[in-house]
Structure 1
Amino acid sequence: MARNDSRDWAIEAQGLVKRFDGVTAVDGVDLRVPQGAIYGILGPNGAGKTTTLRMLLGIIDPDAGMRRVLGSERPHDMAHAIGYLPEERGLYPSMKAFEAIGFLGALRGLPQAEGRRRGRILMEKHGLGHLADRQIRQMSKGQAQQVQLLGTLVHAPQLVVFDEPFSGLDAINQGRLETMIRELAAGGTTVIFSTHVIAHAERMCDEVAIIAGGRVPFAGPVDVARDRIAPQVRLETARVEGAWRAAIPAEARCDLRSDGGAFWYFSLPDSGIEPLLRALIEGEAGILSLSIERGGLHDAFVAIAGEAVAQAMNTTQPEDAQ
């Protein structure tokens, strides 16, 4: 992978491969994550998302391929500048919340006293100050998750990696997490998160990588992914028959109206909207409404990864698919 000096990359990876007991979990993954971006890694459970993240962070080594994190090919050397929230979460139950945050900061090189001080400040900032002296065992699951999240950020990392961060959070806490991620990116922090819920990535991400079967069929800006799908036309006409019908694609779906008109649904022709409008007007189709909608990330995902993979995404954890 040639370096592109016109952009600064928080992460670069080429040809990452990982096998477990002869089974290939990740098969030649290429990624480039721009500094300061919100970057989503999309795919169903078992697609290779967690394995990819762990290789990028140096938790496990690839069997083949190159990775460069914050400019270093030795991820461990940059551990002090990285925050990581794993999917499997856990804190020492006897610790008080502010102590747990300080402890997690200490694991990244932050002096423990400073980490505890920052822990109280962070808890106050995020509306949890009244819980700072409460033991983890006395907190709800959601509260404990928020404490671990703050522990991921206490050392002010340049790069934050969340593995399925929205899993198990209610709608209110999902919203808070989204706000926090946007604030981090606005301050220059690079944020990477994996998810099997496409809506999260569509709302938040600048760029995404789609992982399916351990491979990456697409990596790049969300807008580029959505451009894989032609804009969708929704047309309502007062009439059903006429010479103007020739301007409507043969594969268009037609729903008849009780008053003799119809709704039409089809992809915008390559020739654009002007010839279609001209034919409808000149043919006196009786246009009642016309809208053009750009394809969503879900539609792009289906086109790139396939319907079966998209269905697996939607049924993995229904409570998150809001």
Structure 2
Amino acid sequence: MNMATPITDSGSVPDIATSRPLAIEARGLVKRFNSTLAVDGVDISIPEGAIYGILGPNGAGKTTTLRMLLGIIDPDEGSRRVLGADNPQDVARRIGYLPEERGLYPSMKCYEAIAFMGALRGVPLPEGRKRGKRLLEDHGLGHAVDKQIRQLSKGMAQTVQLLGTLVHDPALVVFDEPFSGLDAINQGKLEVLIRGLADKGTTVIFSTHVIAHAERLCEGIAIIAGGKVPFAGKVDEARDRIPAQVRLETRNSDGPWSAALPAETRRVGDFWNFPLPESGVEPLLKALIEGDAGIQSLSIERAGLHDAFVAIAGEAAARDMVMQDAGGEA
């Protein structure tokens, strides 16, 4: 039974502090498949024009969450609003969706495949054919305009389906594991395309189990593990869950100045490593200089998103992500 109810303005859940209108807001999304609880109380808010990543290992609930947001399936509990509509199907023609399971008719020519996908979103076929040819030219596939899908490499076929997702100029684009199966060159091209969409004001959401893509691209993320979202917010806020680390090299290995080092300090080779003190590094620098420690080098390194993911979701989820990225079994 569908128990979803509309979200009221007073009930929004902004996990990215912004004055921009929200493209998507969801609260308490729950989905069960028979006795399996696939998604358990997901809250997500995404402003217009943002690039937003949903991170987690396979089986964490990413695809189910995306399908609920898009209205492909209904939540058993909770609410969602997409592009201002309580029923996502009412704004389906303003949305582009690239599912993880790719599928094109192999006998179609490339530009016809793009036109066909546009027609499903209301673009007349003649206009879709024009747009398809232009998109193929713009993305380096002009030589493949008249080729059948079966004649393409896997990467080229994925690019054609990606262009078909964009042919109707959607306001919201949702990619489910878009980098999967692409080589490094095509992954880089896709990152450029995603940034270009956001520059035009398009909201882009993508799921991934590769943290590096989210770290490079995203304004905000939701970390999902076991159907729950232990974190949703800005990338910087996730990284700030772990204190920055100081790496210090001194000419002298000991002296009265060493008493100023934090209790958590570890000596690794020629370097002292410790978390950045809450008071900052300036008081420590003063003690080191006055104590003649002989500072050779000092650097402050913020935690990466991978380290933040481990701290938030746990080592098991992070290990699954790494194994999936390497093509192993989770």
What SS class does the counterpart of residue 117 from structure 1 fall into? helix
Cα distance, 1:168 vs. partner? 0.5
Q: Percent identity?
A: 71
Deviation at 1:265, TM superposition (A): 1.3
Please state if 1:265 is matched with 2:273: yes
Secondary structure, aligned partner of 1:249: coil
- Give the secondary-structure state (helix, strand or coil) at the position aligned to 2:248: strand
Cα deviations by residue, 1:139-196 (Å, 9 ceiling, x for unpaired) = 1101100000000000000000000000000011001100000000000100000011
One-letter amino acid of the counterpart of residue 79, structure 1: A
The root-mean-square deviation of aligned C-alpha atoms, in Å, is 1.4
Deviation (angstroms), 1:312 = 1.3
Question: Residue 166 of structure 1: which of 166, 179, 184 is its match?
Answer: 179
Of the candidates 28, 45, 49, which is equivalent to residue 15 of structure 1? 28
- 2:289 corresponds in structure 1 to 281
Paired residue type of 2:99: P
Distance (whole Å) between structure 2 residues aligned to residue 32 and residue 295 of structure 1: 24
Name the amino acid aligned to 1:275: P
1:2 corresponds to: 11
AA in 2 matched with 1:2: G
The Cα of 1:317 is off from its aligned counterpart by 2.2
**1:315 has 2:329 as partner:** no
Q: Which range moves more in the overlay, 299-308 or 141-150?
A: 299-308
Separation (CA, whole Å) in 1 of partners of 2:191 and 2:204: 11
Q: How many residues matched?
A: 315
Aligned to 1:203, which of 200, 216, 225?
A: 216
Distance in 1, matches of 2:227 and 2:323, equals 19
**1:61 corresponds to which residue?**
74
Following the alignment from structure 2 to structure 1, what is the Cα–Cα distance between the partners of residues 296 and 183?
Answer: 41
Whether 1:304 and 2:312 are equivalent positions in the alignment is yes
Per the alignment, residue 116 of structure 1 pairs with 129
Take 1:305 and 1:282, find their aligned partners in 2: how far apart are those partners?
Answer: 43
Alignment correspondent of 1:156:
169
Tell me the distance in 1 between the aligned counterparts of 2:44 and 2:100: 21
SS in 2 for 1:76: helix
What amino acid is aligned across from residue 297 of structure 2 in structure 1? S
Q: Which amino acid aligns with 2:165?
A: T
The alpha carbon displacement at 1:249 in A equals 2.1
Matched, 1:224 2:237: yes
Gaps of 5+ in 2: 1-9
Residue identity matched to 1:286:
G
- Residues 186-244 of structure 1: per-residue CA shift (max 9 Å, x gap): 00100000011111000000111111111111111111111111111111111221122
Once the two structures are TM-superposed, the CA of residue 295 in structure 1 deviates from its matched residue by 1.4
Q: Which residue identity is paired with 2:85?
A: S
Q: Which runs of 5+ in 1 are unaligned?
A: 257-261
Match of 2:56 among 43, 50, 64: 43
SS in 1 for 2:271: strand
Cα distance in 1 for partners of 2:303, 2:93 equals: 40
- The one-letter amino acid of 1:206's match is E
Give the structure 2 partner of residue 245 of structure 1. 258
Tell me, yes or no, if structure 1 residue 125 matches structure 2 residue 133: no
For 2:4, the equivalent position in structure 1 comes to none
User: What secondary structure is seen at the aligned counterpart in 2 of 1:316?
Assistant: helix
* Shift, 1:251, TM fit: 2.4
The amino acid that maps onto 1:16 is L
Aligned residue identity for 1:176:
K
* 2:57 maps to amino acid: P
Tell me the CA shift for residue 6 of structure 1: 4.0
**What CA deviation, in whole Å up to 9, does each residue of 1:34-62 have, x standing for no partner?**
00000000111111000000000011111
Query: What TM-score results when the alignment is normalised by the length of structure 2?
Result: 0.93
Alignment partner, residue 259 of structure 1: none
The CA distance in 1 between the partners of 2:247 and 2:73, in whole Å, is 49
Question: Deviation of residue 252 (structure 1)?
Answer: 2.0
TM-score, normalised via structure 1 length:
0.95
With 303-312 and 33-42 compared, the bigger mean Cα shift is at 303-312
* 3-state secondary structure, aligned to 2:11: coil
**CA apart distance, 1:108:** 1.2
Deviations 1:272-320 (A, max 9, x none): 1011111111111111000111111111111111122111111112169
